[in-house]
């Protein structure tokens, strides 16, 4: 048996959108189950996201600390952001987020891992990139606002992050998945074997 996620779509006999926000919405679908029964499934509709694990020559990851109101915590994260435009190239979005949140650019980009953050309740898909050969971005820093105006930046050794993840001290999905995937890739076929930055992404097809 091949262990691989595959596309499939069960019949939807009714659908509604009880809430529509600025970036996301909530959808209620009545779905036909395998036994013929119909069950309602409520979930958040999300445009998708990108995240960047930026690794410097000293084997440190660029992280930022930001308040997240839904969980009432200030979390350490890696740079990330929404795919604001339908069909937007995720690499371009990732480069933008790295510039806006950290004022950093990178010369070497790879796809580290693709994930669904909460497939039981949200259709958000995230592509996490590995960025290397870092340098300071040119020009003035991007003007941040709201939660981002209070962000802290740091560079933390990979092994320290791994230890803190396994100790239960770090919880951000993209940080946890990104750091552990980095270690797994290095212990496997190596970082240069990762997919190219423009690799297809069926969950969020994009323009070249």
Please list the active-site residues. Answer: 148
The whole-angstrom separation of Cα 194 and Cα 120 is 28
**123-147 burial, b if ≥16 CB within 10 A, otherwise e?**
bbbbbbbbbeebeebeeeeeeeeee
Instruction: Give ∠ CA 79-80-83 in degrees, rounded to 5.
Output: 150
Largest CA distance in the chain: 60
């Amino acid at each position: 048996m091949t262990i691989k996620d595959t596309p499939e779509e069960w019949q939807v006999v009714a659908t509604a959108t009880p809430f529509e926000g600025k970036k996301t919405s909530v959808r209620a679908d009545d779905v036909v189950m395998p036994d013929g029964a119909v069950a309602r499934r409520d979930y958040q509709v999300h445009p998708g996201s990108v995240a960047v694990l930026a690794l410097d020559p000293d084997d440190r990851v660029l992280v930022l600390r930001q308040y997240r109101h839904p969980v009432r915590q200030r979390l350490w994260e890696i740079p990330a952001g929404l795919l604001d435009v339908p069909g937007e190239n995720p690499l371009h979005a990732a480069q933008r987020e790295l510039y806006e949140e950290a004022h950093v650019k990178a010369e070497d980009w790879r796809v580290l891992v693709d994930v669904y953050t909460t497939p039981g309740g949200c259709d958000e898909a995230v592509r996490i990139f590995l960025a290397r050969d870092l340098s300071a971005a040119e020009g003035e820093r991007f003007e941040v606002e709201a939660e981002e105006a209070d962000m802290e930046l740091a560079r933390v050794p990979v092994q320290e992050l791994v230890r803190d993840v396994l100790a239960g001290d770090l919880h951000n999905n993209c940080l946890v998945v990104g750091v552990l995937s980095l270690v797994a890739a290095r212990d496997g076929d190596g970082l240069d074997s990762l997919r190219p930055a423009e690799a297809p992404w069926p969950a969020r097809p994009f323009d070249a």
